[in-house]
Structure 1
Amino acid sequence: MDGPVAPESGTPSSRPTSTPVGSGPAGSSAVADAARTGRGPVRTCIGCRRRGERSDLVRLVALGPATVVVDERRSAPGRGGWLHPQHSCLELALRRGTVARALRLQPPVDTTAVASWMALNGVPAAGT
């Protein structure tokens, strides 16, 4: 018999057998695609919730109980959250409260250092 066997009846179960993630066109995912193509690790933006390569996102970390800064080296100790370097993603994350949640901080959080970092690094302001 092919397929899994139902333990009580000895007949094949109605559940389809699982296929490995990324093994076919319908099972592809960003994580599997990254692994298959040899690209770097994949992270999820806390603002827009889209996946992207680690090198395309910036890491945010808590500095004290309510201040959030950009971890430029991406290696600071503690919890971190990943964000596309776009003002729209920062605004979404603040509106949804995901910055505080991802870093396990009590809201409100101060993200002026993140906005300043974006301005210093040439990230265009939202709506421009």
Structure 2
Amino acid sequence: MFVAMELPFRCIEHEAFREFLSIVAPSLNVISRTTLARDIYKLWDSEREILKEFISQNCQRVCLTTDTWTSSQNLSYMCLTSHFIDNNWKLQKKVLNFCQVTRHTGNDDLFMYICLLIY
């Protein structure tokens, strides 16, 4: 929910949010924002490893594309996506990585961001 709605993690510690959770899920143990951030990073890292394995076993060639967008908080991001045909001849599209970007001034900056995404 926090990622999908682009909510700051500090919302989990807000009194109104905790009161809401106590009504809809009274038995839920509410975690801290640092625990939330750590758990989301662990999930991302786990899914990244699963995706690496999937790509290594299901395709021989990959096409990479980038996309940029601005969030509702007016932050700019760049995304690196892989496109490939799997062993069942289905077109697959998987997000490999994304990062926050500042306004780039030329090809060198763009190249740097793409390298950061691949790493």
Normalization by structure 2: what TM-score?
0.22
Higher RCO by CA contacts (8 Å cutoff, separation 6 or greater):
1
Report which of the two structures shows the higher radius of gyration computed on alpha carbons: 1
Q: Which has the higher strand share?
A: 2
Q: Which has the higher helix share?
A: 2
Normalization by structure 1: what TM-score?
0.21
